[in-house]
């Protein structure tokens, strides 16, 4: 191999960020990963907002639960950022809409949260399908444990929403669930 051909193949292996990368990525896949990162940041902001709302209504267990969820969504966003960096891509951070702050009940807040979880799952499935279509094995390997965690998370929210629905906005029942959350007894999940 001549010096010129070495340097031209080297240039081909540089990503948009200028960092070396072992294999190029399809732009559509990069876009979906970036959008997903934004979705995780948005989920984090919304859960932080629900943690505040819960604290204002003395629901300390729900507040603790949503604070933890907010932190874990931020960590998920960071994992996508790290992955894009590892693949030589740029990580553009988008402006986030204001989180929802008004809820009529904790049940409404949980319904809203469950919808967020469901949207996150759909987005992960779309990324996975595109990664498979473009034979991007690195991305499917990256997504496998994330999808597993997302299934558990969705199940936790569904379980909590079911319990809160059953409580039917009765303060005494909501307080019991709140205490269980505060003491780490809830949420329980059906997924191992």
Residues that bind Fe ion (CB under 5 A): 40, 73, 76
Q: Which residues contact 191 (CB under 8 A, 6 or more apart)?
A: 151, 152, 155
Using CA atoms of 46, 49, 50, 56 in order, give the dihedral in degrees to the nearest 10: -170
For 81, the enclosing helix (H) or strand (E) is: helix 60-86
Q: Which residue is nearest to Fe ion (CB)?
A: 76
The CB-of-120 to Fe ion minimum distance in angstroms stands at: 5
The CB-of-43 to Fe ion minimum distance in angstroms stands at: 6
Whichever of 79 and 100 has its CB closer to Fe ion, that residue is 79
Work out the end-to-end distance of the chain between its first and last CA atoms, rounded to an integer number of angstroms.
Answer: 53
Integer Cα distance of 158 and 151 in angstroms: 11
Whichever of 40 and 178 has its CB closer to Fe ion, that residue is 40
Whichever of 58 and 119 has its CB closer to Fe ion, that residue is 119
The CB-of-138 to Fe ion minimum distance in angstroms stands at: 20
Q: Where are the alpha helices (DSSP H) in 87-136?
A: 106-133
The CB-of-161 to Fe ion minimum distance in angstroms stands at: 17
Whichever of 63 and 70 has its CB closer to Fe ion, that residue is 70
- Closest by CA to 50, choosing from 115, 97, 112, is 112
Whichever of 17 and 140 has its CB closer to Fe ion, that residue is 140
Integer Cα distance of 107 and 21 in angstroms: 46
The CB-of-54 to Fe ion minimum distance in angstroms stands at: 19
The residue count for the chain: 192
């Amino acid at each position: 191999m001549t010096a010129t051909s070495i340097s031209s193949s080297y240039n081909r292996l540089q990503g948009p960020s200028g960092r070396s990368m072992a294999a190029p990525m399809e732009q559509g896949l990069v876009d979906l990963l970036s959008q997903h990162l934004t979705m995780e940041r948005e989920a984090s902001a919304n859960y932080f907002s629900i943690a505040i709302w819960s604290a204002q209504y003395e629901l300390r267990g729900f507040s603790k639960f949503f604070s933890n969820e907010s932190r874990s969504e931020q960590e998920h966003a960071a994992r996508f950022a790290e992955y894009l960096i590892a693949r030589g891509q740029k990580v553009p951070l988008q402006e986030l809409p204001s989180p929802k702050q008004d809820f009529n009940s904790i049940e409404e807040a949980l319904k809203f949260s469950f919808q967020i979880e469901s949207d996150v799952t759909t987005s992960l499935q779309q990324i996975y399908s595109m990664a498979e279509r473009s034979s991007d094995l690195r991305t499917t390997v990256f997504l496998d444990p994330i999808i597993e965690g997302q299934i558990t998370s969705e199940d936790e929210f569904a379980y909590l929403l079911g319990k809160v629905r059953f409580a039917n906005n009765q303060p005494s029942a909501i307080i019991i669930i709140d205490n269980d959350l505060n003491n780490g007894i809830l949420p329980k999940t059906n997924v191992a």
